[in-house]
A and B are shown apart, each in its own frame.
Chain A
Amino acid sequence: MTRVWFGLAAIAAVALVGGFAVAEAQTGAAQQIAQRQDMMKANGQAMRTLTPMVRGEAAWNQQAAVQAATTLHNSARQIPAIFPEGTGPDAGKTDALPSIWQNWADFQAKAKAMETESAKLLELANAGDEAGFKAQFPNVGRTCGGCHEHYRAKRN
């Protein structure tokens, strides 16, 4: 009899630990989703800071340009790492499409495109090349839209 109880207790313990592990994985995924959304928001903020300057509505500010371009360049390099498998729509509230993980090489290429174009933007900002910077801005923007077109859909 005691053996039966012991067995049941063991099963319960395993189930409990397993349950925690699952819950842990879920909050882990939810956290990763929230973190990457924050990073994407920072990209949006950087583009928003630059827009009035690019349009000529605000005066050219080299320091602000360097700062925003740095944000963009740094986050481009982190994109593959902040989209680990298991953080798709099954894991939480996200607009990331499951096709990211079915076309991983292409997704990485789209992140690479943003890295390349934002590197050029940063170089132009550092060089103080205002005209070149303004001409490069849309090329960076197209890499944002180029990825969102395939891998993000507004569902939430």
Chain B
Amino acid sequence: MRPQRFWRTFAVASVLAFAACTLPAAAQAPDREAVRRGEYLFNAGGCLGCHTDVKGGGPPLAGGRALRTPFGTFYGPNITPDPDHGIGRWTEADFIRAMREGVRPDGAHYYPVFPYTSFTGMTDGDLRDLWAYLRSVPPVARPNRAHEVKFPFGFRPLLTIWKWLNFTPGPFSPDGTRPPAVNRGAYLVQAVAHCGECHTPRDALGGLDSSRLLAGTPDGPDGERVPNITPHPETGIGTWSAADLLDLLKLGMTPDGDFVGGSMGEVVRNTTSKLSDDDQRAVVAYLRSLPPIENRVTRRQNTPE
């Protein structure tokens, strides 16, 4: 009788102990994984740069970075989980709608300086992971600065028309005829890392000219010349080897031994250098698979003698 009771007590106790140890762990483990995956996407999406006032010494993601555009100066908002100044009161659904549809929780439209025009292509799973990461950063009570938008663009309802003309919401759909690495690269370049926001020329209304995808523009952010990164041999990256492109993504080095600067310097430091080796190779495979477009933007000698 006695040993039996002992075993019963033991069994109950160990079940309880096991539950005590594993239940919270089981609830947290996938979460921690989601945060880790979300952090990777956060780097790939370059969220830090636009949402941090680095020059003013502001804390990460607490907003304040000035973004100058032909339509005015915008200030990246606070996206820490602070309930009053950040997005602490948002639900996951609010976040997914902002990223996928460019709509604020109160229904107003976002300006396309926030590259939701690209982020719309992110998968639901990736957006949920990104949200898990954003919930994990420390909240900062730093008030947002109002945008200084030129007339008449200060009127947000006008964005309805802009979006109708220039914006196609919806997740990226892979092309079954291409190798998986090329599709992965396309997803990273088009949706997450939004390379086209700078490298694709825009029309008069600021919409991306999809017929000249990644063909470069002399009117980049802050007046920079943004080079053609289609594989055109004379005016693009057609003569770059895969190793040249990998060095660009990892280090910022171009085949002539120069190093990219300005906004691309930041993209390399925050984004492309932090991609996994596989993802870097996928980006390279995708860029090299693009149709070459002739468009001379920079004076760079792309053909090493």
Answer yes or no: do A and B interact.
yes
B279 located at the interface, meaning its Cβ lies under 8 Å from any Cβ of chain A in the complex? no
In-complex Cβ contact of A151 among B258, B260, B261, B268 (8 A): B261
> In whole angstroms, how far apart are the Cα atoms of A44 and B256 in the complex?
6
> In whole angstroms, how far apart are the Cα atoms of A44 and B304 in the complex?
12
> In whole angstroms, how far apart are the Cα atoms of A48 and B265 in the complex?
19
| A125 partner residues in chain B, CB cutoff 8 A | none
Pick from A48, A142, A149, A156 the residue with the most CB of B within 10 Å: A149
| B87 partner residues in chain A, CB cutoff 8 A | none
| B224 partner residues in chain A, CB cutoff 8 A | 153-155
| A48 partner residues in chain B, CB cutoff 8 A | 255-257, 304
| B263 partner residues in chain A, CB cutoff 8 A | 153
Chain B nearest Cβ from A130, distance in angstroms: 19
Contact A144 B259 (CB under 8 A): yes
Contact A154 B257 (CB under 8 A): no
- For chain B, the count of residues having a C-beta within 8 Å of the partner chain is 27
> In whole angstroms, how far apart are the Cα atoms of A55 and B251 in the complex?
13
| B247 partner residues in chain A, CB cutoff 8 A | 51
> In whole angstroms, how far apart are the Cα atoms of A80 and B294 in the complex?
39
In-complex Cβ contact of B257 among A44, A145, A148, A149 (8 A): A44
> In whole angstroms, how far apart are the Cα atoms of A136 and B298 in the complex?
30
Interface size range of chain A in the complex: 20 to 34
Chain B nearest Cβ from A128, distance in angstroms: 23
A75 located at the interface, meaning its Cβ lies under 8 Å from any Cβ of chain B in the complex? no
Contact A51 B257 (CB under 8 A): yes
Q: Kindly identify, within residues 119 to 156 of chain A, every residue whose CB is under 8 Å from any CB belonging to chain B.
A: 138, 141-142, 144-156
Pick from B252, B265, B269 the residue with the most CB of A within 10 Å: B265
Pick from A142, A151, A154, A155 the residue with the most CB of B within 10 Å: A154
Contact A141 B259 (CB under 8 A): yes
In-complex Cβ contact of A138 among B227, B250, B256, B299 (8 A): B250
Closest chain A residue to B300 by CB distance? A154
Pick from B259, B260, B262, B304 the residue with the most CB of A within 10 Å: B259
Chain B nearest Cβ from A110, distance in angstroms: 11
Contact B261 A148 (CB under 8 A): yes
> In whole angstroms, how far apart are the Cα atoms of A110 and B133 in the complex?
32
> In whole angstroms, how far apart are the Cα atoms of A72 and B253 in the complex?
15
> In whole angstroms, how far apart are the Cα atoms of A149 and B224 in the complex?
12
A-B contacts, 18 of them at CB < 8 A, read A43-B257, A47-B257, A48-B304, A51-B253, A51-B257, A142-B251, A144-B259, A145-B253, A145-B260, A145-B261, A147-B261, A148-B265, A150-B261, A153-B262, A153-B263, A154-B298, A155-B225, A156-B225
Instruction: List 9 A-B pairs, minimum CB-CB distance, nearest first.
Output: A149-B265, A148-B261, A48-B257, A44-B257, A47-B257, A145-B252, A153-B262, A144-B259, A152-B261
6 additional A-B residue pairs with CB within 8 Å, beyond A45-B257, A149-B265: A144-B252, A145-B265, A146-B269, A148-B262, A151-B261, A154-B261
